């Protein structure tokens, strides 16, 4: 992934200890998936999929538990995942808001 100011970047490559680094479309850094055009749509998709899977797991396995246990599990395992990194992005695309 390359970040640059120019509209037409110069072709080139980066190497580290004589190993050429491959260019990628998106990368994960500190739990946030960043794309090369700085859109967070891919990050939102990954997080919503992860939170949905966790929520489904909790619904299946905590069916007969007290409400307080369900609430604690939800806040600690689902909501924390969804809210992590929320402060860095303000969704401006309608698909990200949805």
Contact 50, 81 (CB under 8 A): yes
Q: What is the pLDDT of residue 24?
A: 82
Report how far residue 89's alpha carbon sits from residue 91's, in angstroms, rounded to the nearest whole number: 6
Buried b / exposed e across 1-33, counting CB within 10 Å, b at 16+?
eeeeeeeeeeeeeeeeeeeeeeeeebeeeeeeb
| Structure token digits, residue 1 | 């992934």
Q: How far apart are CA 41 and CA 45, in angstroms?
A: 6
Q: Where are the domains of the chain?
A: 15-97
Give the residue with greater pLDDT, 4 vs 67: 67
pLDDT 10s digits, 43-70: 888 888 999 999 999 999 999 999 999 9
Please give the model's pTM, rounded to 2 decimal places: 0.70
- Express each pLDDT in 11-49 by its tens digit: 677 788 888 888 888 888 888 888 877 777 888 888 889
């Amino acid at each position: 992934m390359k970040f640059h100011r120019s509209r037409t970047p110069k072709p080139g490559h980066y190497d580290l200890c004589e190993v050429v680094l491959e260019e990628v479309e998106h990368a994960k850094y500190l739990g946030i998936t960043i794309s090369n055009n700085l859109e967070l749509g891919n990050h939102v998709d990954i997080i919503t999929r992860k939170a949905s899977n966790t929520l489904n797991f909790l619904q299946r396995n905590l069916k007969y538990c007290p409400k307080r246990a369900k609430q604690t599990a939800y806040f600690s395992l689902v909501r924390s995942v969804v809210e992590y990194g929320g402060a860095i992005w303000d969704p401006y695309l309608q698909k990200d808001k949805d």
